[in-house]
Structure 1
Amino acid sequence: MEPLMPESNMKELEDLVSDFISKANRLASQLKPQVIKSIGDLVRSMNCYYSNLIEGHHTHPRDIEKALQEDFSKNKEKRNLQLEAKSHIEVQKKIDEETVENVVSREYISWIHEEFYKLLPEELKVVKNPDTGKIVKMIPGKVRDGDVQVGKHIAPRYKSLESLLARYEEAYKSKNLSKIKQVIAVAASHHRLLWIHPFYDGNGRVARLLSHSYLKHIGIGCSLWSVSRGLARRVQEYKSALVEADSPRQGDLDGRGNLSEAGLSKFCKFFLECCIDQVDFMSSLLEGANLLRRVELYTEDKIKSGDLPKGSTSLLRYAVLNGEFERGKASQISGYKDRQARTVLSTLLKKGLLVSANKKEPVTLGFSSEILDDWFPKLYIG
C-alpha cells in the first residue's frame, strides 16, 4: 500500500491546497449562518445525488425529496434507490452534526458503512461474484471475510485487512500532519481506502462520505459544496485516476513503495482540482447579489402568474439578506397589514420557500426541489 502520501510534485500540490483553503474560507464568509445551514441541507441531498450517480444510480432530486418525507415509490427498483438516497443523507447529517476525534480509524470507517446499510432492505445487502456466481450476504459495518477482485484490481487478501487499516489510520491521522499535508491526506486517503476495499460493497460511498468528514474535521468544511459533484462531472477521469493510482511502482524513479507514487500524486492533484472547481462553482452561485437577483426574478414571475401573493418578494429578500426573521415581523417587512402579511407568510411556508422548525421559531429560506433550476441553475446535471 506504500507510499501513503505523494513525495514528488509537492510544490504543485501545496499551491493547490493553499488556493483551496483560501477559497473555501472565503465562500463560508459570503452568507449568513442561517442561510448556510439551509443550503447545507440542500448540499447534503446534492452530495447524495452525485455519489449515487457515480455508482450508476440515477435518483431524481424530487424522488430524493419525497424519500426524506417517507413518500416512497411503489416501483420496487425506484423505491430501493430512494432508500439508498435517504440512508446516505441521514449518515451525512450525523457526520455533519457530530464531532469525531479520529475520522480515519478502523472503527469510524466501519461505522459509516454500518450506518449506511443497516436500514436498507436485505436485497441491497447481497453481493454476487460476477465470475463465480457466488452470493455473499453483507453484514453492515463488517469488513469482508473473503477475497475479491474489482475490475482489474485484485484487492488485498482479507486476512491482511486489519493490519492495512491500522497502517492507514497511522498514516492519515490528522494530528500527525501539518495543515497542508492534512488536505493532501484527504485526497490520498480517498484512493487508498478504495484500494484496500475493506467491504464487499459500498466502498465508493464510504470513501466519499469519509472524505467529506475528513474535510469537516480539519476545519475546511464542505457544508456549502460537494466534492462528489466534481467527481461525478468528471467521472471517467475519476475512475481512470483511481486505476492509475492502483498501478504498481514503475521503476526506480517512481517512489519507494510497492504502488506507483506518480499515480498517487496524479490522483491527489485531480481530487484537489475537483474540490477547487466546486468551491468556485458554489461561490459564483451563492454570491449575494446574484442569488438575490435570481430569487427576486423567480418570485416576481410567480406573482405575475398568480402562483404567489404580492409581498412575497419582500419576505424572501429579507430572508436572503438577513438569514431569518420572526413571524411577527412579516407585516413590518412586507408593508402589509397583519392579516394579509400572515397570508403571504403562510403561502411561502406551504410552498417550502420559507421553512421553520415550529410555529414559535424564526423562518428561514427553504429550498424545495421545485425552485432548484431557477435559484440554483446547473446545480444538478446528469
Structure 2
Amino acid sequence: MNVSNPALPDSIPPPLLASADLLVTKAAFLAGMISPETAACLSNLLMDSDAHFSRIIDGYHTEPKVLKDAFSSANKQSTLMKVPELRRRIVAVLAHHFHVLQTQALPDAKGAIARAIIHQHLAQLGLHPHLWSLARGLARRHEEYHALAPTHRTRVSESIGGIQPTGKSTLSFIEFILEVCLGELDYMTAALNRGRLREAVMHVFRSNSWLAEAGIRPQTAPAYLSLLIQGALPRVEFETFTGLHPSEASDQLSRLINVGIAVSAAANLHTVQVGLPLWFAQDIFPDFSLAESEVNPG
C-alpha cells in the first residue's frame, strides 16, 4: 500500500520533540539490555501477542497474511525518512499513521494494516519496535485511540470530502501515541530489570506445575537465568552452573530442552540457547500476551 505522506505540522511543540528524543533514548537503552538470542525470542513472542491485542483494538481478527502483505507493500523508500532530524522523522511517522487512519479507503483491516506500517517505519528509525509492543499499549487504551483517530469513517463521507483532520487533532494524536510508546518501553525495561527478572525466574521454577511435571528442579533456575540474560552458553558451562552432579546436570538440561525453555541446535550441540515459549514467558512477564488456553505447552 503506497499512500502520500502528509506534511509535518507547521509548528511542533517543544514538549513533543522532547518526547520523541526520549523515545530514542529509551529504545536504545532497552536494546542494550538484551542479548541477540533473547531479543529474537522476544520478537517472536511479541509478534504473536500483537495479533491478540489487535483483536482487542479492532474488535475482530485480522489474518496474518494480511499483515504480512502490509509489511511487504509498505514503501521502504518513504519520503518520511528524508525529513531532517531524527525526532522530527518520528513525528512525521506518527502523523503519517494518523493520516492513513483518517483518510485512506482501506479494507476492514485498516487499523491493523496501519499499525503494521508504523511498525516498519519505527524499525527503519532504529527504535527496535520488535522488543516492545505498541499494540499492547493501544489495546489498553483503545477507546482513546479510536476517539483520537476514528478508523471507521464511511466511504460516503470520504467520497464527498469529509472534514479533514486539523493540525491540533494531529498533534493530539501524536502526543497520545508517543505517550503509549514510552509507556511500553518502560514496561519492557522494567520487566527485563535483572533484579525483577531473577525474582520472576526463581518463582516460576519453584511454582510452575508444568516444570514440576517435567521433572525440572528449582536448583536449575540460576543457570537458566544466566542463559536468559546472556542468550547462549556453552553446554558444559550451563551444566556446571547448576551445581549438580554432571550426570544430573545433563539430565536437567535435557528436560529444559524438551519443554522448550532451552534450545540445542543440531548444527552446534556444544552450545545451548535460550528458549521462551509463550506458556513460560507469560509467567515471567506479567500481562505479556495471550489467554491461558492459547499457551498450554501440551
TM, length-normalised to structure 1:
0.64
Report the equivalent of 1:231: 138
Report the equivalent of 2:187: 281
Q: Does 1:84 align with 2:84?
A: no
Q: Does 1:45 align with 2:48?
A: yes
Gaps of 5+ in 2: 154-162, 292-298
Q: Deviations over 1:168-215 (max 9, x none)?
A: x87x43023321111111211111122332433322111101111101
CA contact (8 A) 1:231 1:274 kept: yes
Distance 1:349 1:31 in 2: 21
Q: Does 1:380 align with 2:289?
A: yes
Report the equivalent of 1:130: none
Gaps of 5+ in 1: 58-80, 96-106, 112-168, 247-256
Shift of 1:88: 6.6
Report the equivalent of 2:129: 222
Task: Give the one of 235, 256, 274 matched to 1:365.
Answer: 274
Task: Give the one of 173, 178, 186 matched to 1:267.
Answer: 173
What is the DSSP-based 3-state SS (H/G/I as helix, E as strand, rest coil) of the residue aligned with 2:149? helix
Q: Does 1:334 align with 2:242?
A: yes
CA contact (8 A) 1:194 1:207 kept: yes
Distance 2:66 2:232 in 1: 28
Q: Deviations over 1:138-169 (max 9, x none)?
A: xxxxxxxxxxxxxxxxxxxxxxxxxxxxxxx8
Counterpart residue identity of residue 74, structure 2: I
Rate the CA distance shift 1:43–1:381 in 2: closer, same or farther, 3 A. closer
Which structure has the bigger radius of gyration?
1
What is the DSSP-based 3-state SS (H/G/I as helix, E as strand, rest coil) of the residue aligned with 1:378? coil
CA contact (8 A) 1:356 1:364 kept: yes
Q: Deviations over 1:20-41 (max 9, x none)?
A: 1111111111222222222122
Report the equivalent of 2:251: 343
What is the DSSP-based 3-state SS (H/G/I as helix, E as strand, rest coil) of the residue aligned with 2:273? strand
Report the equivalent of 1:56: 59
Distance 2:5 2:246 in 1: 68
CA contact (8 A) 1:227 1:275 kept: yes
Task: Give the one of 52, 60, 73 matched to 1:108.
Answer: 73
Q: Deviations over 1:28-68 (max 9, x none)?
A: 112222222221221121222212321213xxxxxxxxxxx
> Matched residues, percent identical?
23
Shift of 1:307: 4.3
Q: Cα RMSD between the aligned structures? A: 3.1
Aligned length: 275
Rate the CA distance shift 1:201–1:292 in 2: closer, same or farther, 3 A. same
What is the DSSP-based 3-state SS (H/G/I as helix, E as strand, rest coil) of the residue aligned with 1:325? strand
